[in-house]
Amino acid sequence: MTGVARFLVLAGLSLVALGAIVWVAGRLGLPKLGQLPGDFVYRGQKVTLYFPLGTCVLVSAVITLLAMLFGRR
């Protein structure tokens, strides 16, 4: 396979796996992304400010772990 084809296949499989994880987490009643502890929401009279700090930390940790596992050959 060429480099682009391999990337597209891996990206597609990764999206399917991520979708399955999110689906199973929802069925088990686990917190949804964006509703984790550390996600801040401020609702004023005319403005809503949303800062997903907990979600950002979790996504960063997962991406870092995957990069460490699959980045070295």
Q: How far apart are CA 48 and CA 37, in angstroms?
A: 18
Question: What is the per-residue pLDDT for 43?
Answer: 93
Question: What is the per-residue pLDDT for 48?
Answer: 93
Which segments of 29-70 does DSSP mark as H helices, in order? 53-70
17 to 10, 28, 51, 66: CA distances (angstroms): 10, 16, 26, 13
Amino acid at 44: G
Closest by CA position to 53, among listed 68, 69, 41: 41
- Give pLDDT tens digits for 6-25: 888 888 998 898 888 878 87
With a cut of 80, say whether residue 31 has pLDDT above it: no
pTM: 0.57
Q: How far apart are CA 42 and CA 27, in angstroms?
A: 28
Question: What is the per-residue pLDDT for 18?
Answer: 83
